[in-house]
Structure 1
Amino acid sequence: MLLENKTAVIFGGGGSIGGAMARGFAAEGARVFLAGRTPAKLDAAADQIRDAGGLAETALVDALDADAVNGWVDSVVETAGSVDIAVNVISHDVLFGPMIEMSADDFARSMEKIARTFLLTTQAAARHMVKQGSGVILHFGGSDSANRMPGLGSMQIGCDMVEAMRRQWACELGPHSVRVLSMRSGGVTDSMPDGPQMDPIKQQITDATLTKRAATLTDVSRVAAFLASDHAATLTSTQVNISAGALVD
């Protein structure tokens, strides 16, 4: 197994992407710890992993609260002995629409939440990884700076900020053998709600790919597990493109 004896923490583990990554890690032997703010979603994700024979535990954690984040990661290390993989895929308060019409206060609050949660969760994991001399920090939703669209508001800017943080973290943590990566997909259609309103959007995502096949949650889980493993030991400070050609490098 790729991740045998590894420990993974996933902030936003009850969501579709977080749950997919957790399943991928667990399927390859990792013990996964899922954090979030909705018990029912966390329990459902953990039950899927346990039903498949994996190890999963859950906790209610506010990823914007420094004490809560640090306390939880410390408790995971105390329980499992290490933190080898850290993921933050919590949902954000994204503002869409023309920037010329945005409230400065609303925009600042949106950006502050993104910056705060990624700084706190990465710091909490990185402190332990530096001591261990190993670890992988993985983000999802890397930016596509060459494909600008009007009306994306704080979403694209937030992604760009996270990518800038990823580059800086990789530079600082690399000497300690800690790798920092992000994944970008162009859209994961089976993570989206069903219904006639969503069908055209899903089709547009699929049509934009070169293979006419959009990324799936299974793809996310498998690629995430590979990136977190020693098989990807030379990958850091980069985006991994799983968009099937929809996003051009």
Structure 2
Amino acid sequence: MLLENKTAVIYGGGGSIGGAMATAFAGEGAQVFLAGRTPEKLETVADKIRAAGGQAETAVVDALDASAVNDHIDAVMAKAGSVDVSINLITNEGLFQPLADISTPGFVGAVSKGLTTQLITTKAAARHMVKQESGVLLFFGGSDHANTSPGLGNVQVGMDAVESLRRQWAVELAPHGIRTVTLLTGGVIDTFPDIPEMEAAKRGIIDASPLKRAATMADVGNVAAFVVSDKGRSIASTQINISFGACYG
């Protein structure tokens, strides 16, 4: 199995993308630690993993609370003996409006929240990974400078900011054997609500791909599992495009 004897910490592990990654990691032998603010969602993912024979633990952790994040990662380290993978899937609050219609405090607050959680969780994991001289920090969303469209508000700006943060981590942590990788996505349509209002958005994502396809949650999990495994060890300090060619990065 790709991730046997590996430990993965997933912030936002109760969400659809977090759950997909956790399920794929556990299926490849990893012990997964799911962290988030909603215990019911975390336990739903963990129960599914356990039912399939995998290892999963949950913890209620507010990623905006540095003390709570550090206490949790220290507990993971004490129990598992290593922190091999850390992923933060907590995104900015999406304000899908023209920039002129978004209040300045609203815009700044939403982007700041996403950056703050990324900084806190990455610092916590890096503290242990530097001592190990190994580890993978996986990010999700990515920066696609070639494709922009009106009405995205703070969404792409926030992703660009996180990707810039990831690049800075890369140059600082690579000397310690730590890989930083972003999965660049044009949208995962099976995470969208199944309502008529979302059909145009789903079709737009599919039509943007030369292959006329969109990544599924299973695709996300499978690619993520390979990237963080030792078989993906040459993938570092970069984005991996999982958009079926819709994004250019």
Aligned to 1:88: 88
Per-residue deviation, residues 198-244 of structure 1 (Å, max 9, x unmatched): 22222221222122221011100100000101111111111100111
In the TM superposition, 1:113-128 aligns within 5 A as 113-128=113-128
Aligned runs of 1:1-249 on 2, under 5 Å?
1-249=1-249
Deviation string, structure 1 residues 37-66 (Cα, Å, up to 9, x no partner): 111111111111111110000010001111
| Secondary structure of the corresponding residue to residue 123 of structure 1 | helix
Q: Is the 2:92–2:158 Cα contact (8 Å) retained in structure 1?
A: no
Is contact 2:145-2:248 (8 Å) kept? no
d(CA) in 1 for partners of 2:197, 2:105? 32
Amino acid at match of 1:181: V
User: What 5-or-longer segments of structure 2 have no aligned partner?
Assistant: none
- 1:235, 1:144 → 2: CA distance? 19
Q: 1 CA distance for matches of 2:208 and 2:95?
A: 24
How many Å separate the matches in 1 of 2:31 and 2:248? 35
Return the alpha-carbon distance in structure 2 between the equivalents of residues 149 and 60 of structure 1: 36
TM-score (norm 1): 0.97
Count of paired positions: 249
3-state SS of paired residue (1:197): helix
Q: Distance in 2 between matches of 1:98 and 1:197?
A: 19
**Equivalents in 1 of 2:234, 2:227: separation in Å?**
10
CA distance, structure 2, for counterparts of residue 160 and residue 248 of structure 1:
13
RMSD of aligned C-alpha atoms?
Answer: 1.1
Distance 1:16 1:86 in 2: 17
What TM-score results when the alignment is normalised by the length of structure 2?
0.97
Give the 3-state SS of the residue equivalent to 2:117 in structure 1.
helix
Residue type of the partner of 1:49?
I
Bigger Cα displacement from structure 2, 102-111 vs 120-129: 102-111
Are 2:135 and 2:179, in contact at CA under 8 Å, matched by a contact in 1?
yes
Instruction: State the shift of 1:109 in Å.
Output: 1.1
Q: CA deviation at 1:186?
A: 0.8
- Counterpart Cα distance in 2 of 1:230 and 1:199: 38
Contact kept, 8 Å, 2:10 with 2:34, in 1: the verdict is yes
Q: In structure 2, how many angstroms separate the alpha carbons of the residues matched to 1:247 and 1:191?
A: 18
Superposition deviation, residue 100 in structure 1: 2.3
| Paired letter, 1:31 | Q
Which runs of no fewer than 5 residues in structure 1 stay unpaired?
Answer: none
- When structure 1 is superposed on structure 2, of 169-178 and 231-240 the one drifting more is 231-240
> How far apart in 2 are the matches of 1:214 and 1:97?
24
